[in-house]
Chain A
Amino acid sequence: MSGAFRIPGAGHIDRAQPLAFRFNSKSLQGCAGDTLASALLANGVHLVARSFKYHRPRGMFTAGNEEPNAIVQLERGPHTEPNLRATEIELYAGLVAASVNCFPSVDFDLGVLNRLASAILVAGFYNKTFMWPKSFWKKFYEPVLRNASGLGVAPDAPDPDIYDRLHWHCDVLVVGAGPAGLSAALEVARQGLRTVLIDEAPEPGGTLLQRPAQIGGIAGAAWAARAAAELDGLANVLVLRRTSVFGYYDHNYLMALERRTDHLGPGRAPGIARKRLWHFRAARVILATGAHERPIVFGNNDLPGIMLANAACTYATRYGVALGRRGVAFVNNDHGYALALDTQAAAGNLSLIVDARPAADPELARRAAGAGVRALQGHVIARALGGKRVRGVDIRTCAGTNAGRVECDHLLISGGISPAVHLFSQAPGTLRYDARLACFLPDRASQAVEVAGALNARLQLASALADGKAAAARTLAALGRAPAALATSAALTASSAASAGFVPPATVAATAAGTPAPGPVPDELHIEPLWSVQSLLGRKLPGKHFIDLQNDVTESDIRLAAREGFRSVEHAKRYTTTGMATDQGKTSNVTGLAILAEALGKTIPEVGTTTFRPPFTPVTFGALAGRDRGTLSDPVRITPMHAWHAANGAVFEDVGQWKRPWYFPLPGEDMQAAVARETRALRTTAGVMDATTLGKIDIRGADAAEFLNRVYTNAWTKLAVGSCRYGLMCKPDGMMMDDGVTARLAPDRFLMTTTTGNAARVLDWLEEWLQTEWPGLKVYCTSVTEQWSTVAIVGPNSRKILQALAPDMDLSNAAFPFMTFREGEVAGLRARVFRISFSGELSYEVNVPSWHGLALWQAVIDAGKAHGLTPYGTETMHVARAEKGYIIIGQETDATVTPQDLGLAWAVSTQKDFIGKRSFARVDTRRTDRKQLVGLLPRDKSFVAAEGSHLVASPARAVFDPASGSPSIGHITSSYFSPNLGSGFALALIANGRALRGQTVYCVRDAGPQPMTVGDPVFFDPEGKRRDGID
């Protein structure tokens, strides 16, 4: 037997499959088909949690996603997951769960001491209390509060599960597989449309599984199973179970979380993604998300055993669980009244219905009498009695007269409905307050969406089914399909659906925003609004009157907020924290704003709702990360030579997504020693670097030279074929954008190089100008970045090494001068060789098709052995270029730096026009106090400044004085130790820096200012003798 409170013969559970589980270290038994909540209730366990603030005993309050109380920690170790709702956890063998918010146990909880202080733990308590003294916050208040705050514990081990994502497009997406959603899905699916039906439950059916129902002579649950089977059999339909749509974004983009293996238990489906994040794009959407039932606020309305009426009905009907031996219901509407009677029909334990209205529907009243349930019309429950479980209720007439005390062990409440407008509102659709139904309903949609069922206030089964059909008909019409033309039977098989063919929907109609169903919403509720018994009776009643059970917000908190001037619902929400817990106020928001409206003397529509935002229910971080973790968290881009670098001990640097060798340490070397050795080799023998990552763009056409003239600051028309030139690119504001060397391959053909990180941006830039501003220019650009691998052979011995590899190439200065290129064979490979230099040394950059890159690299290494060739990485490249004062885009530049600031006026034409030229006539770009590039040498040669350090004019200014403003005169852009100089050195941008040459500035650091001497940015070989070789 799976619990003393199991109703014999009732429920859609499998009694033949008992499942053992543990809750708070106690061994219990449930059945396959149970949730953790239903299994606990079947065992008579109501007390499952302590509340967040006052640590009051709490029990299951709902049977679904709106649960505010039954928050548990599921499983232990790496699989543990905090703050799950017991009402949604499917039971499996060996499940282990525990309460949160309690210490040492849910039965005896020390946090209950907070209750003694409850008089001061009111709205705004934290804001009011912990403001003073300021220094106490970090040391005292925060640690204590963090320790006292509740909810579960995050796992501290890596997540052992895998997660998945899938993008999916469809014609119609139906959210919710209750009666309305199922009937809508059947209609559209039978037309052969690509249909998706999503429901959070293990099986479609919704309320058909939760209440006794009959459709066409068969039981509701059987009808749902038959409909699901038909839909499953159609190849044009995807039915997703255990899947929650949590976000509704623009262009009918919806996201959902599928729980694929949680119901099996942790680790029982190896290799299968535990959860899948679905990304949907739907031509049209039908929302049939149902409605949440709403509580009524009265004294101690939070005791375990007090539950929403639809939850009680669900536990009895779906799970065959009675909530106790003697129940009372408290309602103000026919829907709740009927749910109470449905519960009685299954569980037979209801003794009394307390109805605040003068009269109920006569048919319902007859049913109550027939079922032996007494009904008290025009009465309310003023207070519940009990501690860890409700023991009874105090009843009064609506006039306030005491009407006695009734004993009970559970209490059903129904204060009306809150249609689940969350997704509709996210879309975003507007809501309207229906005073007759006392709820917010979907009003105007802004996307191609229809609503149906309880979301549309259709609470009766027949009306929900019809509403689903009607929504489907509107959907089909919008898609240009005649409804009911093919909808004859369930005999449409997968193959015939496929052969029915696909007619693309008319785009305009398909995306037109949906409208609410025509005609007035019928009243199937017959509610008399009752938010709070206190306010109905006009007097204070004993006990705590809770609105938000999860965040422990009471009616008096809301009234206090109103008194303190919080008039906006958004402010009152944040001040009181109503609806801000993990349940997002699904059972409390509307009640809270109704009471706020009353306190402010406004109507409910005047106060309005707070904003509904995704996610509708919480989403695991793992699911959001999906497969993008570990080595797949971001692409790692590598060059064809990468394997050699890795095998030869390279330490890699991340440059954008590229892995570039940073330096190649020999055994025992640290970075400093390796870089010192590499830079020495570069200057004395030879070095070799993988320069493959530089961007390369093939530019050709009759107007190619003219085009370069316009995008570069310097002149290009006269560049000879076979020659190269350094070029600067500016934005229209005159600020540096990119630089690089471009070679003229033919009169109408150039090869442009860009900086590594800017390759794609520069190509887009060139295309933008060609396509939008200068469509008349005959120029085509083609990216060839990865077509070529580039090996830079650098240093005094580079000519000898290249000569060994290219014996037929005349490498003499006369035949192959600086800033030219040659095509020929290098190491038996067809290559382009560029004589350019980023180090000031004699240097050749050899390009071969990338499939030969590794072979060329190996050949260069072999040929260089006799000549002291040393592989080097980006750090040595940086040191060598900085010694020469060569800039790096993004390091010496930051979108506020002009070529003139960098001392590159020589590369800016004063004759021709180019992008950015006009900006050089602006007053701002002509200021003499602009920051200018200079070199800095530290007085203490061992000092290497931190890049980004600020510079001040005197040591006294190194201490910030707010009165005199910023003392900074500039900052360091590049800083290294140079073995060649035997000193640290830096490049810096300093206001009017060129005029400060020879003067001392001070680098600001925590350890005290360091004096540095301003000088020319070229530290090494200022005459440039070395670029032609030194022998």
Chain B
Amino acid sequence: MASTERASPLAAWPARFAAASASATDFTIRELPFTTQINVRGNAADAAFAAATQAVLGHGLPAAANTWAGTAERAALWLGPDEWLVVAPDGMNESIVAALRNSLDGQHAAVTDVSANRTVIEIAGSHARAVLGKGCPLDLHARAFSPPQTAQSLLAKAQILLQCADIRPAFRLYVRISFAPYVAEWLIDAATEFAASRGLDAQRIAARLA
């Protein structure tokens, strides 16, 4: 029999993440493995759909483009006018899928477990905006990109779903598992200049993105 233990795409990386986080001043990086992720599609204007999803999630699906609703732990991220990503801690995928399908029974909707499709990399700290800015063309200034905003964009050459999860700031990058090592390597490389011994203009840049 196979081992039933799961392996996340960045299972081998905690030591490198820890080293990168330790050498930097106020920058941390880690994987949030096995984050429950459920893709939901349906008609947001349909009251029955809204009620059925609200009943299960405890909060509405965000209607505004590029935002998220809920809490940092349990949220729904806007992906399109009729598409959301429901996220929750590890292990809740089957119960949420079942509850949503049950609640949406008879409606035109799609509930798909995609928890293993992407992993989540979280970066946080005052340099996080500058690290992202090295590869992401969006306006990442706190005035322009803070909770509850999300974006579907590029980081260097990888697609990311970006969630500003906390004003601290903390960002969650939802990354296809095949791209995860590339994105992790890229982030660690981009953060090297924030090592305490370096820095040049790092504090100045961080202050101007806050």
- Which residues from chain A sit less than 8 Å from chain B, CB to CB? 164-169, 194, 235-238, 260-261, 269, 271-273, 279, 281, 494, 502, 626-628, 631-632, 634-640, 643, 658, 698, 700-702, 778, 780, 782-788, 805, 827-829, 849-856, 858-859
Contacts and interface: CB of A to CB of B under 8 A. Distances in A.
A628 B7 contact: no
A668 to B, nearest CB: 30
B2 A828 contact: yes
A168 B140 CA distance: 8
Contacts of B186: 627, 632
B110 A701 contact: yes
B166 interface: no
Given A782-B41, A786-B117, A628 B130 contact: no
Contact of B116 (A238, A628, A778, A787): A787
A685 to B, nearest CB: 22
B208 A167 contact: no
A272 B207 contact: no
A788 B116 CA distance: 7
Nearest to B159: A760
B114 interface: yes
Contacts, number: 155
Given A194-B143, A635-B156, A701-B110, 4 more contacts: A502-B143, A635-B158, A828-B2, A852-B6
B51 to A, nearest CB: 19
Contact of A855 (B3, B82, B185, B204): B3
A638 B181 contact: yes
B39 interface: yes
B141 A169 contact: yes
Would you call the interface of chain B mostly helix, strand, loop, or mixed?
A: loop
B189 interface: yes
Nearest to B157: A635
A258 to B, nearest CB: 9
B104 to A, nearest CB: 12
Interface string B175-195: 011110110011001101101
Contact of B39 (A235, A628, A782): A782
Would you call the interface of chain A mostly helix, strand, loop, or mixed?
A: mixed
A634 B2 contact: no
Contact of A702 (B34, B108, B143): B108
Contacts of B5: 855
A35 B53 CA distance: 67
B95 interface: no
B47 interface: no
Q: Interface size for chain B: under 10, 10 to 19, 20 to 34, or 35 or more residues?
A: 35 or more
Contacts of B134: 164-167, 626-627
Given A167-B133, A850-B177, A636 B4 contact: no
Nearest to A659: B178
A932 to B, nearest CB: 37
A165 B144 CA distance: 20
Contacts of A852: 2, 4, 6-7
Contacts of A855: 2-5, 7
B175 to A, nearest CB: 10
Given A782-B41, A859-B1, A194 B141 contact: yes
A235 B208 contact: yes
Interface in B115-158: 115-118, 130, 133-141, 143-144, 156-158
A503 B177 CA distance: 39
B31 to A, nearest CB: 12
Contacts of B141: 169, 194
A628 B137 contact: no
Contacts of A168: 133
Q: Which one of B3, B177, B198 has the greatest number of beta carbons of chain A within 10 Å?
A: B177
A113 to B, nearest CB: 49
Contacts of A634: 157
Nearest to B176: A786
Contacts of A281: 137, 139
B137 A849 contact: no
B83 to A, nearest CB: 8
Given A271-B198, A272-B198, A852-B4, A169 B144 contact: yes
A307 B35 CA distance: 67
Contacts of B3: 855, 858
B210 interface: yes
29 contacts: A168-B133, A236-B208, A238-B204, A238-B205, A238-B208, A269-B200, A271-B197, A271-B198, A273-B193, A628-B156, A628-B157, A631-B185, A637-B178, A638-B181, A640-B9, A698-B110, A701-B108, A780-B41, A786-B116, A786-B118, A787-B117, A805-B2, A828-B4, A850-B9, A851-B116, A852-B2, A852-B4, A853-B7, A859-B1
A640 B177 contact: yes
Contacts of A638: 178, 181
B138 A635 contact: no
Nearest to B201: A260
A929 to B, nearest CB: 44
B156 A782 contact: no
A265 B132 CA distance: 29
A787 B133 contact: no
Contacts of A828: 1-2, 4
B7 A858 contact: no
Q: Which one of A235, A272, A850, A853 has the greatest number of beta carbons of chain B within 10 Å?
A: A850
